Amino acid sequence: MKSIFHYFKTADGLSIRYCSWKPGKADAAGSAVLLCGRSEFIEKYRETISDLTGRGFHVYMADWRGQGGSDRLIGNPHKGHVGSFDDYVADLAHFMEHIVSPDAPRPLVIIAHSMGAHIGLRYLHVHHQSIDRAVLISPMVDIHLYPVPRVVMRIAARLALWLGYRESYTAGAGDYVPGAKKFQNNRLTGDPDRFFDTTVKLSENPDLAVGGGTYGWLNAAFRSIDVLAAPGYVERITTPVLIASSTDDRVVSRTAQKKLCSRLQDCRFIDIMHAKHEILRERDPVRAQFWKAFDGFVRKRNPAISNEQPQSTGVIMEKETDQNYDYEDESPPSLLSDTGGWWQSAPKKPILLGGAGALLLVLLLVLVFSRDGDRPADRQVQLPEYDVMERMQGRFERLEERIEAMEMELTRLPALVHQVESMEAGGDAGKLDQLASRIDRLDDTIRKIGEETRSLEDAHKSLARKVDQTQVATAPEPRRDSSPDSSPDTGGNDRYHVVQQGDTLFSIARNNGIPLDELLAKNDLTEDSVIRPGDRLVIER
């Protein structure tokens, strides 16, 4: 899928990157505007964009200010920073009015994840009549702060601003470091391939990377959360809304999502079972739950979407305005939260003293850790660990399985063609249309597999070359001592290396202190050449 990027200028002079895609079908099912989460970027959503265009949607997407390919706001481009969420809302309004609306076929659907869903709700408060449907995925209605009490964290964040730490990282945060995030115990996805795919994309374009958030961003988020919580704010929204909530989410509050759904005029709430925060980057069975719910929700006003959709095991729950939600789906409420209970009847003085002590502790963390990430980011971003390539190999294997399944489908094409010819002769127009639709979908799937194969092959080759170059560039000083196994003397001034089990071209170059290109040239080899134990390679002439 080829992407041609464009830019528009904001009211305060920033350049915002955006892109649009058209479906392969002549008849559009509508238009979808994708709103990503904090630190995300357009390239991360290529699979979702393909899913939407395959359903017949025109797709539009922009990078938020301060991340992706859009202009950054402060000196260190790795810092996730914004002055106010009002700026995000204004950028979205400009994008919708000047780029999306003049060209987008109706119905118009917003599909928003996490922070993007929060901004989408702010936009709908004013422009709800111009949007036909809104799908909010793990929306950031409130931030998951357990075990730190919300009151303490809010006060600490405000105090950090007062002390001049607006553009400093929050305690414990820092620049993006490739390979630092491990799949084990991550809070984003249960799919290792999609988890490491983000690392690969950032290795290909390090300028897209964003690290932790600043105290300025955190304060802006708290203020905007208060805006959503204000009585009568979301109640004004008339757009039908679907909230898809991850049952294993530990990033945002599910309880806050349910309460917000009960306040909206027209809202459906669904649980996506066994999903972490990034539903669209989850395993295929989990994603299938979401797409079935999405198709059913959008199809209510858009019968053009096919009825033949993936099966799902998701639990779908209609909004119940009088339901009292408990905390069984997330960590217990903190003692200083606004959930009532013990706090209402307990003596206040000991709790206030404890809260003051906790506040001083948080402030100490602010002063100790916030300066660590204030130095300018090194734009020479390191390469990811080599196990990323092993994860990519898993993606290749999964793709091969899909290709085998498609080959089975292709064997059925002659029978389909025979049915078409028979129906043409018999004048059965209805069944003919159904078969034509099946063939179109088959062609579209084949095209997508071809695109994904080429993309994986290019990424795999690019990453392999970068790993080779980096390891040779950081090789130790040349070893002057030589053993009989590694460099046998065969006369003259030539020095050789006898290939051992497990040797690779770049490991031989590194261990002998010579560049990989020089090793290849001396032995008339290429990076793709195969070496075997017992081969002798010229190291020095």
Question: What's the average model confidence in pLDDT over 490-494?
Answer: 54
Higher pLDDT, 367 or 253: 253
- Residue 102: pLDDT band (50, 70, 90) is very high
Q: What's the pLDDT at 325?
A: 34
Q: How confident is the model at residue 275, as a pLDDT?
A: 96
SS in 3 state form for 139-208? Answer: CCCCECCCCCCHHHHHHHHHHHHHCCCCCCECCCCCCCCCCCCCCCCCCCCCCHHHHHHHHHHHHHCHHH
What is the reported pLDDT for 337?
31
Average pLDDT, stretch 310-315?
36
Q: Is 173 left (phi over 0), alpha (psi -120 to 50) or beta?
A: beta
CB-neighbour burial class of residue 481 (10 A; exposed 0-12, middle 13-18, buried 19+): exposed
Q: What is the mean pLDDT of residues 74-82?
A: 95
Burial class of residue 242 in the structure, from the number of CB atoms within 10 Å of its CB (0-12 exposed, 13-18 middle, 19+ buried): buried
Of residues 483 and 536, more confidence is placed in 536
Confidence (pLDDT) at 519: 85
Phi, psi for 78 (deg, rounded to 5)? -80, -15
Summarize the confidence of residues 129-142 as an average pLDDT.
96
Is pTM, for the whole model, over 0.95?
Answer: no
Q: For the domain 475-541, what is the CATH code?
A: 3.10.350.10
What average pLDDT does range 245-249 have in this prediction? 93
Say whether pLDDT at 138 is over 80. Answer: yes
Task: Give the least confident one: 214-228, 275-289, 355-369.
Answer: 355-369
Which of the four pLDDT bands, split at 50, 70 and 90, describes residue 533?
Answer: confident
Give the per-residue pLDDT at 428.
Answer: 63
Phi/psi at 227 (5° precision): -65, -45
Say whether pLDDT at 179 is over 80.
no
All residues at 6 or more sequence positions from 497 whose CB lies less than 8 Å from its CB, including other chains? 486, 487, 508, 512, 536, 537, 539
HSE toward the beta carbon, residue 28, CA cutoff 13 A: 16
Identify the pLDDT of residue 429. Answer: 63
Interval 86-113 mean pLDDT: 96
| Cα dihedral 400/403/407/408 (nearest 10) | 80
Kindly report, residue by residue over 506-529, the tens digit of the pLDDT: 778 878 888 878 888 888 888 777
Are 369 and 171 in contact by the 8 Å Cβ rule? The answer is yes
Of the candidates 204, 280, 207, 281, the residue with the CA atom closest to the CA atom of residue 456: 204
398 has pLDDT over 90: no
Three-state DSSP class for residue 476? coil
Return the pLDDT at 482. 38
Which of 15-24, 140-149, 354-363, 523-532 has the highest mean predicted lDDT (pLDDT)? 15-24
Highest mean pLDDT among 38-47, 170-179, 346-355, 439-448: 38-47
CA distance 63 to 80: 13
Six-digit token string for 485: 């196994």
Reply yes or no on whether the pLDDT at 459 is more than 90.
no
Q: What is the mean predicted confidence (pLDDT) over 228-249?
A: 96
Lowest mean pLDDT across 64-68, 77-81, 195-199, 238-242? 195-199
So what's the pLDDT on residue 33?
Answer: 98
- What is the CA 353 to chain-centroid distance, rounded? 41
The domains of the chain are located at: 6-321+333-373, 387-472, 475-541
Q: What is the pLDDT of residue 505?
A: 81
Whether 362 and 171 have beta carbons less than 8 Å apart is answered as yes
CA 159 to chain CA centroid, Å, is: 32
- Other CB atoms within 10 Å distance of the CB of residue 103: 11
Instruction: Please name the helix (run of DSSP H) or strand (run of DSSP E) that holds residue 538, with its range, or none.
Output: strand 536-540
Q: Provide the mean pLDDT of the chain.
A: 77
What is the C-alpha to C-alpha distance for residues 467 and 204, in angstroms, rounded to an integer? 12
Would you state the pLDDT for residue 359? Answer: 56
Q: Is the pLDDT of residue 52 over 50?
A: yes
Say whether pLDDT at 137 is over 80: yes
320-370 pLDDT, tens digit per residue, is 333 333 333 343 333 223 333 333 344 545 555 565 565 555 555 555 444
User: Which residues are 242's β-sheet partners?
Assistant: 135, 268
Model pLDDT for residues 403-438, shown as the tens digit of each residue: 666 666 666 666 666 666 666 666 666 666 666 677
Backbone φ, ψ for residue 63 (5° rounding): -85, 135
pLDDT of residue 472: 47
- CATH number for the region 6-321+333-373 comes to 3.40.50.1820
CA distance 162 to 216: 11
- Per-residue pLDDT for 478 more than 60? no
Mean pLDDT of 216-234: 95
Cα angle 224, 227, 233 (rounded to 5 degrees) comes to 140
Ranges 171-175, 227-231, 361-365, 397-401: which has the least confidence:
361-365
For residue 63, pLDDT over 60 is answered with yes
* C-alpha distance from residue 490 to each of 89, 222, 347, 493 (Å): 73, 73, 89, 9
| 6-321+333-373 and 475-541: identical CATH topology | no
Q: Convert 312-337 into a string of H (helix), E (strand) and C (coil).
A: CCCEEEECCCCCCCCCCCCCCCCCCC
Place of tokens 């669209």: 280
